[in-house]
Structure 1
Amino acid sequence: MHLVTVATQLDQWALDFEGNCERIIRSIAIAKSRGATLRVGPELEVPGYGCLDHFLEGDTILHSWEVLAQILQSEEAKGIVCDIGMPITHKNCNYNCRVIIHDGKIVMIRPKMWMANDGNYRELRHFTPWHKHRQVEQHSLPGMIKRITGQQYVPFGDAVVSTEDTVIGVELCEELFTPASPHIQMGLDGVEIFTNSSGSHHELRKLNRRIDLIKEATMKLGGIYLYANQRGCDGDRLYYDGACLIAMNGQILARGPQFTLSDVDVITATVDLGAVRAHRTVSSRRMQSAQAESYERVYVDTRLDGGQGIRVGDEETKGSMEVSYHTPEEEIALGPACWLWDYLRRSRTQGYFLPLSGGIDSCATATIIHSMCRLVASAASEGNEQVITDARRIAGEPEDSKYLPTDPKEFASRIFHTCYMGTQHSGADTRKRAKDLAEAIGSYHVDLNMDTAVSAVQGIFSFVTGKTPQFASRGGSNAENLALQNIQARLRMVLAYMFAQLLPWTRGKVGGLLVLGSANVDESLRGYYTKYDCSAADVNPIGGISKTDLKKFIGWAEVNFDLPILQSFLDAVPSAELIPLGEDNVPQSDEQEMGMSYNELSVFGRLRKVEKCGPYSMFGKLVQEWGSFLSPVEIAHKVKHFFFTYAINRHKMTTLTPSVHMESYSPDDNRFDLRPFLYPSQFTHQFKKIDKLASELPNRATQPGNDKAKVD
C-alpha cells in the first residue's frame, strides 16, 4: 500500500489572522494538488506562535475559531485530513491544541501535554498542560462552528485518529524532546503515522538535534514522522527556521528549506505502509506492544490512500535523502538576513540605517544586509511575487511598476543607508574601510565629522561647572576619560536617529529607516559598550552572535560573496577610537580595555548560561580546561574579573536592543536570560573560596611539555 503524506512550513505572523488564514489555506491547496491526503502545519499556526501574553486574551481565542471556521468551509480543505494549530479554552483553561479536521467536520482536538518553559519559551505562562494521559473528554463547540459542522461536541484529549487504512498520532514540538515522548507509547499501540507541529527557533548548530531525535524515534519504533515547523520572524527576537521533514523507519525522505523568503513551503513524499509494518516485526518490539496501554481511537471514514490501495499518479519516494547542514558561517549569513527581511517588510518602513564604523561588528551587520539583498534578488529572479511586491513597496515604486530587484547592489542603494561618524580620534584607515565596504555592497553612504557636536556638549558642561574634563593621556581621571568617550558614543546614537528619519527625505523619498545596532553577544555579556550609544538601535542583527563566529563569518563572506574588502576588517585591531593616541601611538584596543579576549568571553558565556556555573564552579571547570597553560591563580584572576565586570554592567541588559537570537549563552535580560541587574559585585564568599582553592591546587602550567597558550 502506498500513501502520500505532507508537512508544511509557514511564515506566520503573530495576530495576523487574515494573512495566517490565507497561508494555511494555500498550503492545503498545494498539498492537494500534489495528491496528498494528510496535511500538517506548524504549532499555533492560526494566531501565530509568538502572541505571548495575547494568548491570555479572549479575543485571540475568538479570532482563532473564526479562522478555523473559514478553513472548515473552504473547498481546499475538502477531501483531505488537516492538522491545524490554535489555542482553545476548555473548562476555563487555555490549551495549545491541534485540531484534526476532515470534510468540514472536526475529528478531534489534541491538547499539548509537555510544555517548553525555559530559555526563550514561556508556555506555562499562557497554557495549561493536558495531564490526563490517554483520557478524552467532550468539548462543546462555539456556536459559529456548530452551525458549520453540525456537531455539538467533539473529543478533546489524548487520543489517536484511526482511518480505514492506518492510525495517526499527534505529538507537539517539545514532546519530541522529552525523555518519555508520547510517540513511544503511541507507536507501541499501533500508531503508524506521527505528526509533529513545531515552533522551534533557530540557533547556531541546533538543527541536527531535531533531525537526530526524529531519525532515532522512527528507527526504534518504525513509522512515518511528519515534522512541520514555523519559519521566519513572527514578531519577536526569534527566527523560526523551518526545515520541515518527512521520515520513515529512521530515514529522512524529504526536507524543506531552512532559510528562504517564501511564505509557504510544502514537502511531500510517497511512502509504503507495508515497510512500516515489516519494520515492526522484531520480537522484542511485539512483546512490548502487546503490553502497551491502549489509546482511545477516534474514527474517520476515509482512507489516506484514496481508496485505491496504491496511490495513483505519484511515484514512490525511494530510499533516503542525504541530510545536509549549513555551516555556522552560512547560518549567520542566512538566518538574520531572513529575519531582517521579514522585519523590514512587516514594519512597513523604507529601509535600514547603519552607523558604519570601519570595525568588524558594523562590517558584519552590513554584510548580513548584503546577504538579505542577495536573497531578495535571487527570489525576484525566480519570480517570487510576494518578494517582488514587498520590494517594490519598500523601494518606493508605484503599484504598477515593472521594477524587479534582481541586482543586490542596486536594491541596497535604495533601501540601505550607512554613515561613518568620525571624530578627531578616528583613523583614516577606518574611514576608508567604511567607504570601501559601502561601495562594494551598494549602500547609500554619507561621511561626517561630529567634533563640532562633541565640543558643543563639552562646552555646555564646562560653562555650567567651570571645569573642563581631560582624557587620561592628558592627565585626566578615569571618570573624565570615560565620560569623554561616552559622550562621543551617545552622540552617534542621536545623529543616527536624525539621519535615519531624514535621509530618505533628502533623496526625495517618503518614510523613515530602521536603525541597526552592532554590538556582539560577547560585548553585551561583558557590558563593554556605552549605554544608549549607537548600539541602542531599533534592532541588532548580530546581538546574538559571538565575536569569534563573526570573524569566521567575515572570512567566509569574503570568498562566497566576492568581497575582498572584508579582509582588511579581519586584519584591523578592534578599537573604539574614542581616545587620543598615547605617546606610543598604539590605537585603543578593545580586548586590552576589557581585560579578556573575545575567545575567553565566549567560554565564560557558555559556562555561565548553558552549564549554569557560578564563580566557584566556573573556576573548577576552567582549571580542567585551561590548567595546562594557565596557573590556578591566573585562572582565578580571570574568573573573578569576568564576574566583577559582568555584575557592574548587568543593568545594561535591561535596555539591550532587540537582537536576533542566535547563541545559547545570550545575556538578553528581556526574554532569554532572567537574572538580577543589581549584584554584590565583589562576590565575597565565592571569591574567597576560589582564592583558597587556587592557592592549594598544583600549577600544571609549569610542568614540562606544557606551553603557555592562549585560550584561542
Structure 2
Amino acid sequence: MGHLITLATCSLNQWALDYQGNYERILASITISKERGATLRVGPELEIPGYGCLDHFLEGDTVLHSWEVLAKILTSDATMGIVCDIGMPVVHKNVIYNCRIIVHDCKILLIRPKMWLANDGNYRELRYFTPWAKHRQWEDHYLPRIIQAVNKQIKVPFGDAVISTMDTCIGVELCEELFTPASPHILMGLDGVEIFTNSSGSHHELRKLYTRVELIKEATLKLGGIYLYANQQGCDGDRLYYDGCAMIAVNGRVIAQGSQFSLTDVEVVTATVDIEDVRAHRAKSSRSMQAASSDRYYRVEVPFALTNGKFDEVREEDLVGLIGTKSMDVRYHAAEEEIALGPACWLWDYLRRSRTQGYFIPLSGGIDSCATAVIVYSMCRLVSEAALRGEQQVIVDARRMTGEPDSSSYVPSDPREFANRIFHTCYMGTENSSLETRRRAKQLSEAIGSYHVDLNMDSVVTAVRSLFGYVTGVRPQFRSHGGSNAENLALQNIQARLRMVLAYMFAQLLPWVRGKSGGLLVLGSANVDESLRGYLTKYDCSSADVNPIGGISKTDLKRFIAYAKDAFDLPILTSFLEAVPTAELEPITETYVQSDEADMGMTYDELSVFGRLRKVEKCGPYSTFTKLIHEWGAFLSPVQIAEKVKLFFFEHARNRHKMTTLTPSYHAESYSPDDNRFDLRPFLYPSRFPWQFKKIDEVAAVLPDRSTVIAVDKTKTE
C-alpha cells in the first residue's frame, strides 16, 4: 500500500440568497467530510450565495454577504486539518469574478477565478462575471477588512495557480471549464497536478448525465489523476433542477458516485485513494516528454499533507474506493425514471420553500394532467421514503405544510395519505366533456389519494356567453351548430380561460373548506410540444404557478406513464395511454370528435423532430426542409415535407407570443421554447416567411419523389 488519501466531494441543496441556510449546509458538509477522515473537501459552484442569484450577482450586497459567510466559516474551527474548496463571487480590481476560495486552517491559500464562462442555453454568466484571461498568471488580492480581522491576512494570491501540499498538488477547474475543448486540467496535469477539483452548477436535462460522466472519465484517462466533481442539488429558485451526482474518478474510472435525485440537503461522497497509482499511470514516455516541456504554474505552498500515513486509521467503508479494486458501474436512470424523480424533487423544493400548503391541478382526464398528477404522487412517495429513513428536514417540512405542530409525532409514511393532505385535484366538466374523461380523472385521484372535487362549469360558461350576446346583440355558435371559425375558437377559449380562473379560486379556498389555513400552488400541464406549436390558449389552465412537465415531450410523457403504471402500481394509467388526446372544447357529433393531432395538423413525434432541428441543430425553415428530405424522404414526397415544414414554422411563429407568458416550467428538454430564460427569440414574426417558403417550394418542385419509388418497388417485391 502506498500513500492513501481520503477525499470528499459533495452535493448541496443551496438556495439563492439564503446565506444562513447555505452556511449551515456548507458547514455540515465539512463536518461530515472530516468525520470520514477526509483531508480535502470540494463544494458546488457559488455555494455561498447560491448559483441562481442571476442579476443579484451585480449587487454589492451579494458579494458583501458572501464574505460575511466566509468569515463565519473561518472563525470556526471547521477548516482546521482539512483543505476546503469553497465558491463565491469576488470583486478584484472592481471586476466581478466567479471564484473558488481555497482554505486551510482558517487561512485563505488561493482565490481561483473562473476562466471559461457558461453563456448559452440557460446560462448567462457573462452578464454577471468576467472571465480571468491571464492564464497561468496571478496577482495579489487585498482582502476585505472583515477577513483581515478574522485571520490577520492582508493579501492572498488571485489567479490561475495551483496548491502544492507536502505530498501532492491540487488544481481547480470550474464547471464549464470541463466542457471546453482546451480544458485547464490538461496543462495542469502535465505540470504535475495530481488532484483536480471541479465545482459545478450543472442542471438536469433528460439523458444528459452520460455526457458529464464521459467527460469526467476522459479527463483522467489519458492524463492520469484524481478528479473530484461536486454539484449543486435541488431547485435554487428558478426553472432549473440541479441533479447532484457528485463523483470521484481516478485514471479514467469512476470509483464513487452520489445520488442524482435526492431530497437530502447535504450529501457527501468520499473515497480513499492511493496517490501512487496516479504516478504509476503517468509513467509513460510520451506523456513524460510532453510534461517535461510544459509551462509552469505558480504553486501556493501549504505545509500540510493530505495523506494520513497510517493505514490502520483509514475507515473500512472507504477502502472500496481504492484503485486496484473493480471500478463501479455508473448508475444511469432511464428517461422515464428521470421524469419520475427530477420534477418530483423540484416540486418538493418549490413547495417547501414557498411555504405553501400544497398543490392544486385541474384534471382533464387526459395524459398531460395525468402525468403532472403522477409526478406529484412520485414526490409524495419520495417524501414518505425519506421520512421513514428519519430525514428530519423532510419531516419538519411535511409537518409544517400539513398543519401539524412541531411537537407532533406525525411522519408522512404513506404516500396516498400524505397526498390527501397536500394534493388537490378537480375535474372541471362542461357539456362538451365525456363521461370517460370524468371517470378517468376520478379513478386517478382515488388511486393516488388526492383530495378531489368534481364540478360542471356550464352555468359559468353560459353566463359569459350570454353576457356577450346581451352587449353585442349576437350570440356566438360552435362550428358544428353553424358558427364561423372565429366563433368556434372564441367559445373554446372561454372554457379554457374560465378553468384557469376557477383553478385559482379553488386553490385559494380549498384549504379553508377543509379547516386549514394558507393556500395552494396551481400546477400547469402543457407539455413542451404543445408550447412549441402554440397549441394552447393564452391564460387558460396552462397558466399556473409552476409546470413540472412544461419541458417534457409528449412522447416521453407516454413512456413515463407506462413506466409508472407498474413501478407505482397504478393500473388506471392504462386507460390514459389508450385514450385519444383531445381538448374536449367542441361539441361531439356523430361525424366529429375533437383530436389534438388532427387540430395541430401534425403528430407529437413530428413536433419533437421539428423542435430539435429548430433549437438544437439551429435550423431555419429551409435548413429544416433539407434535413427532412433525407430523414422523411422514404415515406413522404418533397412537396408533402415542404407543406409540413411550412405549417410548423407558420404555427410556431404566429403563436410565439404565447411563450412570453409561459408558466415557469421544469427545464428537461434541450428544445424547450421558453423564451423567459432559455430560447431568446422574437415574438413578432413575418409568420408566412415569404422568402424562405418560396425557396422551399422551388426546391421541392424539382426534387425526385423517393417515397413513390419505394412504394412501387415494394409492390413489385410482394
Q: Normalising to structure 2: TM-score of the pair?
A: 0.98
Choose the corresponding residue for 1:662, options 657, 668, 685: 668
The 3-state SS of whatever aligns with 2:384 is helix
Kept in 2: contact 1:526–1:646 (CA 8 A): yes
- The corresponding residue for 1:611 is 617
CA distance in 2, matches of 1:245, 1:273: 17
Kept in 1: contact 2:500–2:541 (CA 8 A): yes
CA distance in 2, matches of 1:427, 1:707: 45
Pairwise CA distance, 1:309: 7.9
Pairwise CA distance, 1:706: 7.7
Kept in 1: contact 2:77–2:106 (CA 8 A): no
CA distance in 2, matches of 1:350, 1:313: 43
Choose the corresponding residue for 2:353, options 338, 346, 349: 346
CA distance in 2, matches of 1:123, 1:467: 55
Is 1:462 paired with 2:469? yes
Pairwise CA distance, 1:319: 2.9
- The corresponding residue for 2:256 is 254
Kept in 2: contact 1:3–1:311 (CA 8 A): no
Deviation per residue, 1:434-467 (Å, 9 max, x gap): 0000000000000000000000001110000000
Is 1:541 paired with 2:541? no
Is 1:55 paired with 2:62? no
Counterpart residue identity of residue 194, structure 1: F
Give the count of matched residue pairs: 707
- The corresponding residue for 1:290 is 292
The 3-state SS of whatever aligns with 1:39 is strand
Is 1:639 paired with 2:641? no
- The corresponding residue for 2:139 is 137
Kept in 1: contact 2:253–2:327 (CA 8 A): yes
- The corresponding residue for 2:498 is 491
CA distance in 1, matches of 2:301, 2:57: 31
Over 3 Å counting, the alpha-carbon distance change for 1:311 and 1:165 in structure 2 is farther
- The corresponding residue for 1:441 is 448
Over 3 Å counting, the alpha-carbon distance change for 1:64 and 1:450 in structure 2 is same
Kept in 2: contact 1:493–1:534 (CA 8 A): yes
Computed over aligned residues only, the root mean square deviation of the Cα atoms, in angstroms, reads 1.0
Pairwise CA distance, 1:704: 3.3
Pairwise CA distance, 1:150: 1.0
The 3-state SS of whatever aligns with 1:231 is strand
**Counterparts of residues 117-156 of structure 1 (less than 5 Å):** 117-156=119-158
Pairwise CA distance, 1:149: 1.3
CA distance in 1, matches of 2:8, 2:103: 15
Is 1:373 paired with 2:380? yes
CA distance in 2, matches of 1:289, 1:706: 63
Kept in 2: contact 1:629–1:707 (CA 8 A): no
Is 1:332 paired with 2:343? no
CA distance in 1, matches of 2:310, 2:61: 44
Pairwise CA distance, 1:707: 9.2
Pairwise CA distance, 1:399: 1.0
Pairwise CA distance, 1:313: 4.2
- The corresponding residue for 1:21 is 23
Counterpart residue identity of residue 239, structure 2: R
CA distance in 1, matches of 2:79, 2:660: 46
The 3-state SS of whatever aligns with 1:5 is strand
Over 3 Å counting, the alpha-carbon distance change for 1:280 and 1:690 in structure 2 is same
Pairwise CA distance, 1:675: 0.1
Pairwise CA distance, 1:311: 5.7
Pairwise CA distance, 1:308: 4.4
Choose the corresponding residue for 2:81, options 79, 82, 92: 79
CA distance in 2, matches of 1:244, 1:467: 64
- The corresponding residue for 2:680 is 674
Q: Normalising to structure 1: TM-score of the pair?
A: 0.98
The 3-state SS of whatever aligns with 1:221 is coil
**Counterparts of residues 346-425 of structure 1 (less than 5 Å):** 346-425=353-432
- The corresponding residue for 2:457 is 450
Kept in 2: contact 1:42–1:198 (CA 8 A): yes
Identity of aligned residues (%): 72
- The corresponding residue for 1:622 is 628
- The corresponding residue for 2:694 is 688
Kept in 2: contact 1:2–1:311 (CA 8 A): no
CA distance in 1, matches of 2:206, 2:128: 27
Deviation per residue, 1:270-314 (Å, 9 max, x gap): 001100000001111001001110000001110001354886445
Pairwise CA distance, 1:75: 2.1
Unaligned runs of 5+ in 1: none
Kept in 1: contact 2:77–2:105 (CA 8 A): no
Counterpart residue identity of residue 466, structure 1: G
Kept in 2: contact 1:525–1:605 (CA 8 A): yes
- The corresponding residue for 1:597 is 603
- The corresponding residue for 2:237 is 235
Is 1:194 paired with 2:196? yes
- The corresponding residue for 1:521 is 528
More divergent stretch after superposition (240-249 vs 319-328): 319-328
Pairwise CA distance, 1:371: 0.2
Kept in 2: contact 1:350–1:415 (CA 8 A): yes
CA distance in 2, matches of 1:16, 1:514: 22
Kept in 2: contact 1:629–1:706 (CA 8 A): no
CA distance in 2, matches of 1:598, 1:180: 39
CA distance in 2, matches of 1:326, 1:583: 45
CA distance in 2, matches of 1:30, 1:180: 34
Kept in 2: contact 1:701–1:707 (CA 8 A): no
CA distance in 2, matches of 1:681, 1:33: 62
Is 1:701 paired with 2:707? yes
Counterpart residue identity of residue 697, structure 1: L
The 3-state SS of whatever aligns with 2:710 is coil
- The corresponding residue for 2:586 is 579
Over 3 Å counting, the alpha-carbon distance change for 1:151 and 1:707 in structure 2 is farther
Counterpart residue identity of residue 657, structure 2: H
Kept in 1: contact 2:88–2:99 (CA 8 A): yes
Deviation per residue, 1:120-172 (Å, 9 max, x gap): 00000000000000000000001010011111000000000000000000000
The 3-state SS of whatever aligns with 1:77 is coil
Kept in 2: contact 1:194–1:223 (CA 8 A): yes
- The corresponding residue for 1:182 is 184
Counterpart residue identity of residue 132, structure 1: K
Unaligned runs of 5+ in 2: none
The 3-state SS of whatever aligns with 1:203 is coil
The 3-state SS of whatever aligns with 2:331 is coil
- The corresponding residue for 1:67 is 69
CA distance in 1, matches of 2:466, 2:579: 33
CA distance in 2, matches of 1:33, 1:587: 65
More divergent stretch after superposition (517-526 vs 313-322): 313-322
The 3-state SS of whatever aligns with 1:129 is coil
Over 3 Å counting, the alpha-carbon distance change for 1:251 and 1:122 in structure 2 is same
